Amino acid sequence: MTLTLPPQVTPRAFARLAEINAELGEVKALRVAVDGGGCSGFQYDITLDAPAPDDVVLKSEGSVVVIDPVSLPFLENAVIDFTEELIGARFVIENPNATSSCGCGTSFSM
């Protein structure tokens, strides 16, 4: 059996998730998943959701990030962060497993 290491979540990403949950008035997990598609073969799907029983759960100071077991190998050793730039604010994933990615940053290949 091969152990897949979960991604790291930066304090900035956890803090932004806490702000989002405060604005919503409820606690939701940030779900990070990998789906087939996009212009490079795979794409990230980042949504607010409830944890499922088989999810990998990453917690910090009341904020929760979840990853389903199918997506986990694609995100091994990745870093989930939050960035604010002139083009907008968003959660981003720095994925060392990706061999290329598209300009939008949500699609990648391995």
For residue range 38-66, what is the model confidence (pLDDT) as tens digits?
555 788 899 999 999 999 999 998 899 99
Indicate the pTM of the whole model.
Answer: 0.84
Q: Report domain extents, the chain.
A: 8-109
User: What is the rounded average pLDDT for all residues in the chain?
Assistant: 85
Report how far apart the first and last C-alpha atoms of the chain are (Å, whole number). Answer: 21
pLDDT at residue 12, rounded to an integer: 96
Residues 6+ apart with CB under 8 A from 24: 48
Topology at the third CATH level for domain 8-109:
Hypothetical Protein Aq_1857; Chain: A; (2.60.300)
Provide the pLDDT for residue 109. Answer: 46
Which of the residues in the chain have pLDDT under 50? 1, 107-110
The CA distances from residue 86 to 3, 79, 89, in Å, are: 39, 21, 8
